[in-house]
Amino acid sequence: MLGLGNMGQALARAFLAHGHPTTVWNRSPEKGDALVAAGATRAASVADAVVGADLVIVCVVDYVVARQLLEPAADALRGRTVVNLTADTPDAARELAGWAAGHGIDYLDGSIMTPTVTIDTPDAVLIYSGPAGLHQRHAATLAALGGAQHHLGTDPGRAAAYDVALLDFFWTAVSGLTHAFALAKAEGIDGADLAPLAEGLATLLRDSVAEHGERLDAGRYDADVAGLGTIAAGLEHVVAASERRDLDSTVQRAALAQLHRAVAAGHGDDDVSVLSATLLAEREVASRA
Ligand SMILES: NC(=O)c1ccc[n+]([C@@H]2O[C@H](COP(=O)([O-])OP(=O)(O)OC[C@H]3O[C@@H](n4cnc5c(N)ncnc54)[C@H](OP(=O)(O)O)[C@@H]3O)[C@@H](O)[C@H]2O)c1
């Protein structure tokens, strides 16, 4: 186990709890103390850690660091399996997979979609991409991490692509959540009072997710709830009310500008899912320019 930050420690604890002999290494060795007390072996270097390992798990801050750790140990890693559970971009994952292939290292990329507390519980969600056989070979060991574990395809960048898309959804939605509570507070509404009504909207959002995907796949954008024109009017009120209270609304203005572009392109009566399609169309135009 290379990397003993919050997540790396949770992963190592899970392997130990399931009886897998586990060797740990971290730049700051003291983060391994509790794991060593629980039965892990501490290695003095990455190369020492991987000797004799059937499976090498990496979980550090990003792929630049992951590569810095793996490169000096390339000879020791030859013929072994590396499962990289660090989060980064799809291209970074493909690049590291290419490097590993060039050194005779079996490489599986992965992303952890849930927080540390879910590891070794049914709530954990882990996704993988890369050689399917490699995932199957180690599935029984990786099962120690708990929950649902999905292999999403052979492209090593695919797990990271899911990861960044889901992070996009979650953190952009959280940005809206934080702004909404600030706006409510600026209007004298307590967080506790807004929360139950906000939860109702979160349910609506959750219930719209599958339909959004289906509409985009089918290219079907006829609105049966509200068209973009109506949605833009609502967001204009949000921006106006925020600015009246001197609350920064950079994010809401950017979302409004996107809505206005789509309305100007003739989508005023279409469903909100058309915004995914217009973003992709804008990307096409930009790539041709
Ligand atoms: N935490 C979560 O709930 C969660 C959930 C899903 C996914 N993840 C992903 O899991 C990965 C690790 O997250 P974390 O929460 O464990 O982060 P963290 O607690 O900040 O740990 C970062 C790890 O990276 C190491 N590191 C950073 N810079 C380094 C360098 N220059 N050289 C060597 N090692 C270096 C740290 O070593 P030191 O201890 O020596 O600083 C530590 O082991 C990230 O990709 C994150 O996105 C985390």
Report domain extents, the chain: 6-154, 187-288
pLDDT tens digits along 144-169: 999 989 999 999 999 999 999 999 99
Quick one: pLDDT at residue 148? Answer: 84
Q: What is the CA radius of gyration of the chain?
A: 23
CATH classification code of 187-288:
1.10.1040.10
Quick one: pLDDT at residue 46? Answer: 97
What is the Cα–Cα distance from 160 to 85, expressed in whole angstroms?
A: 10
Q: Which two tokens stand for residue 233?
A: 């009017």
Instruction: Indicate if 187-288 has the same CATH topology as 6-154.
Output: no
pLDDT tens digits along 173-202: 999 999 999 999 999 999 999 999 999 999
What is the Cα–Cα distance from 171 to 165, expressed in whole angstroms?
A: 10
DSSP for residue 108: E
Measured from the CB, is residue 61 less than 6 Å from ligand 1?
yes
Whether pLDDT at 211 is above 90:
yes
What is the Cα–Cα distance from 88 to 287, expressed in whole angstroms?
A: 23
Measured from the CB, is residue 29 less than 6 Å from ligand 1?
no
Quick one: pLDDT at residue 59? Answer: 98
Whether pLDDT at 224 is above 90:
no
The overall average pLDDT reported for the chain is: 96
- Residue 139 banded pLDDT, cuts 50, 70, 90: very high
Q: Which residues lie closer than 8 Å to 13 by C-beta, 6 or more apart?
A: 35, 38, 119, 120
Q: Whose CA is nearest to atom 46 of ligand 1?
A: 87
Write the class of the CATH domain 6-154.
Answer: alpha beta
Measured from the CB, is residue 189 less than 6 Å from ligand 1?
no
Measured from the CB, is residue 119 less than 6 Å from ligand 1?
no
Helix and strand counts by DSSP (H, E) for the chain: 12, 7
**Percentage of the chain with pLDDT > 90?**
95
Greatest alpha-carbon pair distance for the chain in Å reads: 65
Q: Which two tokens stand for residue 257?
A: 């500008």
Helix, strand, or coil here: 8? helix
Whether pLDDT at 4 is above 90:
yes
